[in-house]
Amino acid sequence: MSKATCLAPDCEATSRCRGNCSRHYNSLRQLILRSKENDEPVTWELLIDAGLATPATVDHPLSGFITGVLATLAERRRSKESTS
């Protein structure tokens, strides 16, 4: 299985969140935040409908990241113990 790439046109970066690379994900997030004041606010649902984003895969956006950080720290601790 090949790595999923960003859904943004002409972007070859690996998708990180909601089908977008971190750069485009942040741009979309800014767009959503800015458009909240508009008559027709942009939402993740609209972007998903348009094929520009995918539904969030985890309940909390940072839970996967935190799990990865903890696993990395535990791994480093283990390798240190084994060499000393």
| Range list of H helices, the chain | 22-34, 44-49, 63-83
Instruction: Look at the alpha carbons of 36, 56, 63, 17 in this order and tell me if their dihedral is positive or negative.
Output: negative
Listed ranges 6-14, 43-51, 59-67, 73-81: which one lies at the site for Zn ion (CB under 5 A): 6-14
Cβ closest to Zn ion, residue 18 vs residue 24: 24
Q: Which residues contact 52 (CB under 8 A, 6 or more apart)?
A: 7, 8, 19, 20, 28
**By CB under 5 A, which span of 20-28, 29-37, 55-63, 75-83 interacts with Zn ion?**
20-28
The interface with Zn ion within residues 22-41 (CB under 5 A) comprises: 24
Among 17, 18, 21, 47, binds Zn ion (CB under 5 A): 21
Establish if 16 lies at the interface with Zn ion (CB under 5 A): no
